[in-house]
Structure 1
Amino acid sequence: MADCLPFRSTGYFSDLISDYIEEKQNLKPFYNRFPSIDNFKDQIEEKSKSYNSDNRKGLVEVLKNQYGSLSTSDKTQQHIDLLLEDSTFTVTTGHQLNLFTGPLYFLYKIVSTINLAKQLKEKYPDSNFAPVYWMASEDHDFEEINFFNFRQQKIEWKKETEGAVGHLSTSGLEELASSIEKEFGKSDNAEYLKGLFKVAYLEHETLASATQFLANELFGEYGLVVLNADDASLKSMFSKHVINDLLYHTAFRQTEKQADKLADLGYNIQVNPREINLFYMHEGIRERIVKQDDKYLVIDSDLSFSENEILDLVEKYPERFSPNVVMRPLYQEVILPNLAYIGGGGELAYWLELKSLFEAENVTFPMLMLRNSVLIYSEKTSKKLDRLDTPIQDLFLTPQALEAKQTRKNSSIDINFQNQKKTLEDQFKELYELAEKTDKSFYGAVAAQEKKQKNGLDHLEKRLLKAQKRKLKDENDRVLELQRMLFPNESLQERTLNFSEIYIDHGSQLIQDLFDELDPFQFEFLCLELTIYNTKS
């Protein structure tokens, strides 16, 4: 069972993303095509003409090498092989290498992407579509990915690190595996998850290889292709764009203009470009490249290069140049025959700053799709809400607004002074008519008195609401407790919970239910009751 509500009404999505989903006219210059199933026809044609088909062979070679030690499903292998053909395209999502997948929306991103590929194949049978998970293996923000939450506990990997997280050794995770052994319990589903964690992190040497194994185990049977773009041969396909950034600062000039235009429209800017949007990544470091006078310096190091030296490095060692958040999307679209990027609100916000950069670099701008968002709740929780006469949508309110709404609904007294305010306005209407026959000072006195009395009614209404809240405290507390359970730390469930917490009770049916319910073209927030989801809630 599922209910939907508009993203805007949830209160958790920015005006920029809400306006984009609603196809507001002022945002149309910032993207190529809106992601409707019919618009993919023109996107396919444009990408066919602009994509360098020579890249296909190199891409497939890299994928086959990266899948060399994995048990590859027939569907995934078929997608990899089909990428050699000019009629095959990708649809892509990206995500950090969070420990044990991190927050729930990792699943939603990938399910959205796989379902999109499936729908495109049905609509355009003459083409093929491979769903790709782009691992953000070059990020270096370890504190963002070194934990996951399980039943209100933070399971954290403590380690001194530097450089790209994909290169991190998984040594030392034995202690965490022992902790999970106790926390997860002994059910069949728990045993599966514990085994999955151990094989992923204790039998793979790096965080990148562990994450690739994990994603492949969860989604390989559905044909997901996992790509680690931290590769010298892939980077060599991107070299001319790296040079443009180093010499001409194309990304800075183009993205800054777009960001300024968005700011002029009143939107918050997600990322600010730098003059050079590249890191130098080598021997355990990943640090920004900056230009001072005629030298290229690597921040927090002794490395310094002349222009000729750094261009020589780009040619000989392209893998040492790691794109930042501004350049990474361009890198993705250069090496993949990609049609669409599926991401969260924050991701789409910075993509909307990039269209002019893509135009300047002669790369087709992908269609931008907001990933599915889901609130999962149990049948037992649904029955509690029914008894309390509270629709699931009400739980998206702030706790204060939810308590006030519940109080007004359940109070035997009408906590609404609108009728009294209307009577007051009628009375003052006569006074205003009288005031118009006198001087301005009397008119001002009438207006001041009306405002005073309306304020008095507002105060009384608040006092009455407060009194009724106390009277209905037990009933309100039951609703607020359900809200705290489904919105931990007053945040969306999908940003906090790890899939393991639900999987233990629901098993592999959880993923199948998501495939059945998530429609990538349904741009609404999904509230999903899992009818066989057993939990204490």
Structure 2
Amino acid sequence: MPTDCISYQNSGYFSTLMQDYLNQKSTLSPLYNHFPTLENFEKQILEKEQNFDHSSRSTLVSVLQQQYTNSTVSSLTHQNIASLGTQNTYTVTTGHQLNLFSGPLYFLYKIISTINLTKELKAKHPEYNFVPVYWMATEDHDFDEINYFNFKGKKFRWNTQSTGPVGRLSTEGLDAFFEIFALELGQTKNANALKTIFEEAYLQHATLADATRHLANTLFGEYGLVIIDADNQDLKKFFAPYIKNELTAQTSFAVVTETIKKLSDYTIQVNPREINLFYIEDTVRERIIFENEKYKVNNTDLIFSKEEILALVESNPEKFSPNVIMRPLYQEVILPNLCYIGGGGEIAYWLELKAFFDAVNVTFPMLLVRNSVLLATEKQVSKADKLQLSWEDLFSKQNQLENKLTHKLSSFSIDLTPQREQLQKQFALLHDIAKQTDESFTGAVKAQETKQLKGLDNLEKRLLKAQKRKLKDQLERATDLQNELFPNKSLQERQNNFSEFYLEQGPQLIPTIIDRLKPLEQNFEVISF
């Protein structure tokens, strides 16, 4: 089977900013705290220990215990929740939207990266406890981003309406959705296991937050994963001072705007607003806008004076919801967190926030790019071997793959570079002659050289096309394989749902992936079954 290793930087699927971050480019060093190496975590622990409100721990434990009241909790998760009350316990956190039935595969890879990192940290620092945390994005309101998943090339969408925070959305109506999905699954043992997982999560829980907690707990509870819903009044009491600062001083807008100027060479992931907070109710999540000395809730009739809105923060902090700029701060205020694990896009916007954290005196976490995985069957690996394809070949763009394979399979060279060099040598002699005569001849030599070199270029392109036609069958097998592994010419982990692979592998799917992944390595892992 192909054995070459694909680094994130060479995969072709990471932005320039992420490549520079992974390469630890010096100009980016002011935008993060410590780069995520095992050795650097000791520094992060000491900083967090000295700059965290440990009095919040008891509230955190109480809230988590309450949220798990109706869940079957593994002994390790129960132990991890309890240990959060002690000062020698720290978390590693990932966050994700409440995608229906987990959404794309990378939901698994985020959580697995988090679990595996806590194991490595415990082995390195046995005097501390490390808890893997999944932060559910229950306050998001972009329902269209999460109401579907892909299964065997088909999109399964939950057709309902949502106007407020998705975590509070009722699961009513998913029984009809399930009937359709169940037909696609079939009647195998693994199919029936998937049906049970879906039914117990979505048909036996009233809200999307509860359903997602149950799903994640079913898949990862035995590994001690702790799942948090931060849409909670008690937790937001600890965030209230930062909410007030955002409303009155608007620190994030000023500081993050300055940071963005330093990132002018890169694509900016998110831009701050003057106030990076929403007003939230069961069916409402709207921006708070400051106009004419008043605080207005967009698209509503709600208007507050400064005194009124600060009083509301004091009495009902749960009515204020952080946006993408403020949510990371909320996380780091209420969790004794050391590291955030996310995809390239997430890490890109976290890099905009370091100066903001410094301004409000909250320790900035380490930022780790999650594991990325390509799942391949033994049959697909065998096809790659027969076609003499490396993983580097398969990760390349399809036109590049076709060109490279055509060159490899051809019985003669398609590269006309030797002919091009010979032609240039001949014209070099003509140029020497031209220097000894009229300038008009020099121009004629240059024009003829350009014409003939261009002619060779065209011949080379036509030769490549001719060979592609001759090798059509082999090239089609290669591109068919690539299309299987990279659906819609995108990464598999961004397209496919875990259920497609669970259907074949069953309960061993997650343990197999957990055993293979190393969270601090910066390579795509190819796992074959």
Q: TM-score, normalised by structure 1?
A: 0.96
Distance 1:140 1:206 in 2: 14
Which residue of 2 is the match for residue 477 of structure 1? 476
With 438-447 and 96-105 compared, the bigger mean Cα shift is at 438-447
Cα pair distance change 1:34/1:442, threshold 3 Å: farther
C-alpha change, 1:216 and 1:441, in structure 2 (3 Å) is farther
394-403 or 422-431: bigger deviation: 422-431
Specify the alignment match of 2:431 in structure 1.
432
Q: Deviations over 1:271-330 (max 9, x none)?
A: 000000000002410000111110111111111111111101100110010000000001
Q: Which residue of 2 aligns with 1:151?
A: 152
Residue of structure 2 in register with 1:244 after alignment: 245
Q: Which residue of 2 aligns with 1:388?
A: 387
State the 1:425 CA deviation: 1.9
Distance in 1 (CA, whole Å) between partners of 2:36 and 2:342 is 13
The within-5 A match list for 1:70-469 is 70-263=71-264, 266-437=265-436, 443-469=442-468
The residue matched to 1:59 in structure 2 has which SS?
A: helix
After the TM superposition, which parts of structure 1 deviate over 4 Å for at least 4 consecutive aligned residues? 435-445
The answer as to whether partners of 1:83 and 1:89 remain within 8 angstroms in 2 is yes
Q: How far apart, CA to CA, are the structure 1 residues paired with 2:89 and 2:304?
A: 41
Aligned to 1:493: 492
Alignment-derived partner of residue 503 in structure 2:
504
Report the Cα offset of residue 431 of structure 1.
Answer: 3.0
Q: SS at the partner of 2:511?
A: helix
Deviation for aligned residue 1:439: 6.8
User: Any conservation in 2 of the 1:90–1:131 contact (CA below 8 Å)?
Assistant: yes
Which shifted more, 397-406 or 157-166?
397-406
In structure 2, do the counterparts of structure 1 residues 445 and 324 end up closer, same or farther at CA, with 3 Å as the change threshold?
Answer: farther
| Structure 2 segments unaligned to the other structure (5+ residues) | none
Q: 1:435 deviation in Å?
A: 4.2
1:534 is aligned to none
Whether the aligned pair in 2 keeps the contact of 1:3 and 1:526 (CA below 8 Å) is no
The letter for the 2-side match of 1:103 is: P
**1:448, distance to aligned residue in structure 2 (A):** 3.6
Mapped to 2, the partners of 1:517 and 1:84 lie a distance apart of 32
Instruction: Tell me, yes or no, if the aligned pair for 1:3 and 1:527 is still in contact at 8 Å.
Output: no
| Aligned equivalents of 2:282, 2:507: Cα separation in 1 | 40
SS at 2:374 equivalent: strand
Whole-angstrom distance in 2 between the partners of 1:267 and 1:440:
48
Alpha carbons 1:273, 1:326 under 8 Å: kept: yes
d(CA) in 2 for partners of 1:5 and 1:371?
15
Query: Is the contact between residue 3 and residue 528 of structure 1 (CA under 8 Å) also seen in structure 2?
Result: no
Alpha-carbon distance, 1:450 to partner: 2.6
Partner of 1:45: 46
2:54 aligned counterpart, secondary structure:
coil
SS of residue in 1 equivalent to 2:513? helix
Taking the aligned partners of 2:391 and 2:239, their CA distance within structure 1 comes to 47
Shift of 1:463: 0.5
Q: 1:439 to 1:8 in 2, by over 3 A?
A: farther
Q: Which amino acid aligns with 2:261?
A: D
Normalising by the residue count of structure 2, what TM-score does the alignment of the two structures yield? 0.98
1:69-121 per-residue CA deviation (whole Å, 9 max, x = no partner) reads 10100110111111111110000000000000000000000000000000000
In the alignment, is the contact (CA less than 8 A) between 2:341 and 2:367 conserved in 1? yes
- Local SS of the residue matching 1:340: strand
Q: Which runs of 5+ in 1 are unaligned?
A: 531-537
Q: Tell me if structure 1 keeps the 8 A contact 2:502–2:509.
A: yes
Mapped contact 2:513–2:527 kept (Cα < 8 A): no
Q: Distance in 2 between matches of 1:254 and 1:444?
A: 59
Measure, in 1, the Cα distance between the counterparts of 2:281 and 2:437.
84
Question: How large is the Cα RMSD of the aligned pairs?
Answer: 1.3
CA apart distance, 1:393: 2.2
Contact in 1 for aligned 2:6/2:391 (Cα 8 Å): no
Is the Cα–Cα contact under 8 Å of residues 168 and 282 in structure 2 kept in the other structure? no
